[in-house]
Structure 1
Amino acid sequence: MHIRKLNEDDLPLVSALCIEAFMLAVAPSLSAQGVETFAKVASVDAFAERKQGDNLMLIFEADGVITGLVELKQGRHVAMLFVAPSWQRRGIGRRLINAALEHAREETVTVRASLSSVPAYRRYGFVLAGDVGEFAGLVYQPMERRLP
């Protein structure tokens, strides 16, 4: 088991993993617009485009299989954190978030957490940072974590 940077060959698998986890945990609580918005954000092309920008994308591999992804945007915002459903509750999310935070360039790291992921982010040391919001059908809870 190890964490490494995402490469071009990983894009289809990472996209599929994120969409699968999203569809199980988040999509049931959203409108069709929210599901459509996420599908666009998690597409192979969208990942490839963001990979060219100032986004750190790390994957967790176990037994040669990609089991999780974290995306840190501009060294200050967790844009995505997903673990394959069959691999959840094994510490992968925590290891990914900790690895991403090692690359943070700000004292405070933010996330727009899906409502179902708020308890996980609380366990990772994030606190609520505002009211629930909505963008293009995606409902989120702003959260932040101050780093030492």
Structure 2
Amino acid sequence: MKISRVTREDLEEVEGLVLSVSEQDVLPHFNEEGKSEFLSRVLPDIEKTLNRVNFYSVKLVSDGKLVGFSALRDGNYLTHLFVAKGIQGQGAGRLLLDHVLAQTFEKEISLRSSVNAKAFYLAYGFNVEGVESEFNGIRFVPMQLLRG
């Protein structure tokens, strides 16, 4: 598996991966409003991660196929971490997270975890920083990683 920076040429493939994973793992946890909000706002926001001033965005490729995507904003906020369904649970998410976090010296990393990913982030060392919340039907858990 190889990690490299996401480019504009990767955008359509990254969006396809995010949509595929979301349809299986994320959207089933939302009501109809949340599904609509996610599809109309979150997916189009992926293009913003190409801004290298504010984002460090990477893709994970295995055997020539895109299998993962992650983006860190301003060195301290994880905006995206998606791994293809077929390889979830095999260390790809940890590999991506290790890689993006190695790019920053920030001591506090925050994120809004999807409900289905909470256990992954807890196992990595993140802590829940509030109650499960909802914004326009999108459920999330605020989490934070404190690094020494």
Question: What does residue 46 of structure 2 align with?
Answer: 47
RMSD: 1.3
Question: What does residue 35 of structure 1 align with?
Answer: 35
* Aligned-partner Cα distance in 2 for 1:50–1:81: 12
Between the two proteins, the alignment pairs up a number of residues equal to 146
* Aligned-partner Cα distance in 2 for 1:136–1:54: 25
Kept in 2: contact 1:30–1:139 (CA 8 A): yes
Kept in 1: contact 2:11–2:47 (CA 8 A): yes
Q: Which moved more, 1:28-37 or 1:46-55?
A: 46-55
Give the TM-score normalised by the residue count of structure 1: 0.92
Give the TM-score normalised by the residue count of structure 2: 0.92
Q: Which moved more, 1:73-82 or 1:47-56?
A: 47-56
Question: What does residue 145 of structure 1 align with?
Answer: 145
Aligned-partner residue type, residue 125 of structure 2:
G
SS of equivalent to 2:99:
helix
Question: What does residue 93 of structure 2 align with?
Answer: 93
Kept in 2: contact 1:4–1:58 (CA 8 A): yes
Structure 2: stretches of 5+ with no match in the other structure: none
Per the TM alignment, residue 105 of structure 1 is displaced from its structure 2 partner at its CA by 4.2
Kept in 1: contact 2:68–2:82 (CA 8 A): yes
Q: Between the two proteins, what is the percent identity of the paired residues?
A: 27
State how 1:1-148 maps to structure 2 within 5 Å.
1-39=1-39, 40-43=41-44, 46-52=45-51, 54-148=54-148
SS of equivalent to 1:26:
helix
